[in-house]
Structure formats: C-alpha cells, structure tokens
C-alpha cells in the first residue's frame, strides 16, 4: 500500500511529493507525508532564491534544512528546488540595477552557496527552472535579458563545482506537448549537452488539466527525445486540475489522466521517478492561481484517497 514501494518494485528510484514548511503543523498531513508512502520530498518554496538570500550575500537555509532533515529522518531523498528562476527572486535583486558582470557574480555566488550548503545531501537540483516561455522564446527575465542565454551554462557549472554528485536538472512545464516550447527546449538542451554543460536531467513538471492529458505513449515519446541525449528525466510537479465543483465523471477522467502521466514515466527506462506537487488538495497551489479550478491532487482536502490515487497505482503497473 505504498506508491513508493510500488514504484521501486518496478525499477523507479522513488515516488515523491512536494511540501512546504507551513504545512508541517498539521499532523494529519505530516503523518502521510513522512510515511513510507513517499520516498522523495521536494521543498515547494523554502530553497528558492528569494527565501534563501533575503539580502545580498546573506543566506538563510533554516527552512530548507527543516524539510531536508525531516525527509532524512523518514529515509526519503530530496529534490532541491530551484536555483535560477524568474519568479520568487529576492527584492534586492529584482529591483536592483546591476550590470552584466555583477549579475554573473551574483548568480555564481548564490548557486555556489546553496549547492555547497546542501552538498552530498540532495539527490538532484532543479538548476534552471522554466527558461522558455509559452511561445517558444527564451523567457524574458532579468538574467535572460541582461546576461543572455549563457546564464544557464553559468548556473549549471557553478552547481556542479559545488556538488559534483547532485543530478542537475533543467525543469519546465508543458514539455508533455509537442510544439514551439518543446522544440526550443530540446534545441537548448542539445546545445548545452554539445558544449559540455554539466546537465544530467530534464524535469517534466506535469501541471496538467483534466481531460487534456496526452496518452502515456505520446508523453513517453516527448521524454525519449531527451533521454536520447544521454539524460535522465523525471516528472517533477505532477498535478491535474479541474473546473470546480468536481463531478464524478471528472474524477474518473482524472484517474485516467494520472494513469497516463505516471504510465509515461514507466515506459521510459531513464525516467527515474514521479513527484506530485503536494499530495493533498488542502495544500495545492492551484485554487489561488487559477480561479474556479482545483481538486488537482490524488488525496482530497480531508486526506481521503481519490480515484486519481488508483490511477497512479495502475500507471505504476499495480492493481
């Protein structure tokens, strides 16, 4: 009765969940989170740039350390998240007016500090998060605009120098679909591999919509285009949102959708594992971001398993 045990029995490294520190006061929640149900934890916020470097060269890892230590105590591995992203930047950085050279120093210092702090203790780092926009252009943000695409290589190199054993990922959403965004990302990753950037994996976030999830085979063929480059892949932030209120029919569609997402990872040997972006609707990011949508997770607000849970079991090859 453990998704992690089932995933491992089928050759995967883990089945995991994201979490966040404020949720730790809920013991009904932590009882499941830190049980053998999950083999891997991702801190949803507390290792990000804004929370960890509130002023330049002043670092605070206390919150991330709490997540790491609780996971360790439960024999769970950690995917650390994330180092270079356009959101949740510290104010001093986003409102500052730094030149190109200084921005490179700032990025190197931040990445080096965080990856050194967690050296040898995390399975992976999402080094670069969501670098391509929905139209398939390099996303316009501070680093892309002022440093250029070379910020990506810089971040990976600094992370690798600080923690040579961590798997270093580029992580993004909508890679489950073919199109401009996928093509730009694939070309970017090909370029990184060709130039010797220390990238080891590509994260398929998996923020999906009920009824719009491709077949497992189609998603697997998206993944295979990265594994063909010698990289591993993972589903890093899985949730499948729906229009509220939920109906019985939607719940059943969501079950099928979860089965296809997880099934895709099972079809790809080098897909190492699946992480849900929190396991319960109670702590989902969806309702506060997409008005009128929710119920995206496999457990409901009251910690009861939904049909989506059974879809995951089926996707993992269980019964």
Q: Which spans of this chain sit near ligand G3I (rule: CB under 6 A)? A: 44-45, 87-88, 129, 205, 237, 285
Question: Is 237 noted as a catalytic residue in this protein?
Answer: yes
> Would you call 204 helix, strand, or coil by DSSP?
strand
Judged by beta carbon, residue 44 or residue 90, the one nearer ligand G3I is 44
Judged by beta carbon, residue 45 or residue 185, the one nearer ligand G3I is 45
Going by C-alpha positions, the residue among 278, 238, 205 that lies closest to residue 23 is 278
Instruction: Note whether 189 and 199 are within 8 A (CB).
Output: yes
- Tokens matching residue 315: 């996707």
Judged by beta carbon, residue 205 or residue 257, the one nearer ligand G3I is 205
| Beta-ladder partners of 80 | 125
**CA angle, residues 147, 152, 189, in degrees to nearest 5:** 135
CA–CA dist 166, 91 (Å, integer): 28
Q: How far is CA 265 from CA 15, 215, 262, in A?
A: 11, 12, 5
Q: How many residues does the chain have?
A: 319
Give least dist CB 249 to ligand G3I, A.
Answer: 26
Judged by beta carbon, residue 117 or residue 241, the one nearer ligand G3I is 241
Give least dist CB 131 to ligand G3I, A.
Answer: 12
Give least dist CB 273 to ligand G3I, A.
Answer: 17
Out of 23, 130, 237, 246, pick the active-site residue: 237
Which residue's CB atom is positioned nearest to ligand G3I? 285
Give least dist CB 275 to ligand G3I, A.
Answer: 11
- Positions annotated as catalytic residues are 237
């Amino acid at each position: 009765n453990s998704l992690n045990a089932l995933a491992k029995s089928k050759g995967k490294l883990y089945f995991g969940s994201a979490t966040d520190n404020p949720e730790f006061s809920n013991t009904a929640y932590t009882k499941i989170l830190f049980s053998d149900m999950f083999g891997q934890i991702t801190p949803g916020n507390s290792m990000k740039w804004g929370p960890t470097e509130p002023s330049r060269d002043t670092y605070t890892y206390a919150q991330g350390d709490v997540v790491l230590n609780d996971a360790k105590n439960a024999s769970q591995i950690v995917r650390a998240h994330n180092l270079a992203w356009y959101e949740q930047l510290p104010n001093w950085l986003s409102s500052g007016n730094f030149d190109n050279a200084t921005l490179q120093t700032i990025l190197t210092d931040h990445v080096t500090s965080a990856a050194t702090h967690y050296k040898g203790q995390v399975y992976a780092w999402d080094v670069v998060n969501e670098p391509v926009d929905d139209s398939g252009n390099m996303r316009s943000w501070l680093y892309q605009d002022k440093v250029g695409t070379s910020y990506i290589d810089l971040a990976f190199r600094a992370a690798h120098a600080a923690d040579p054993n961590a798997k270093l990922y580029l992580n993004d959403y909508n890679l489950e679909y073919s199109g401009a965004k996928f093509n730009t990302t694939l070309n970017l990753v090909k370029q990184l591999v060709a130039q010797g950037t220390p990238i080891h994996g590509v994260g398929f976030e998996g923020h999906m919509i009920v009824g719009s999830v491709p077949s497992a085979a189609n998603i697997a063929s998206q993944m295979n285009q990265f594994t063909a480059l010698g990289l591993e892949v993972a589903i890093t932030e899985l949730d499948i949102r729906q229009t509220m209120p939920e109906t019985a029919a939607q719940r059943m569609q969501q079950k099928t959708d979860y089965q296809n997402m997880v099934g895709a990872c099972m079809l790809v040997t080098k897909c190492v594992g699946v992480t849900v972006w929190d396991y319960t609707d109670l702590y989902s990011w969806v309702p506060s971001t997409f008005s009128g949508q929710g119920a995206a997770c496999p457990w409901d607000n009251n910690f009861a398993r939904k049909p989506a849970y059974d879809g995951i079991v089926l996707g993992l090859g269980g019964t």
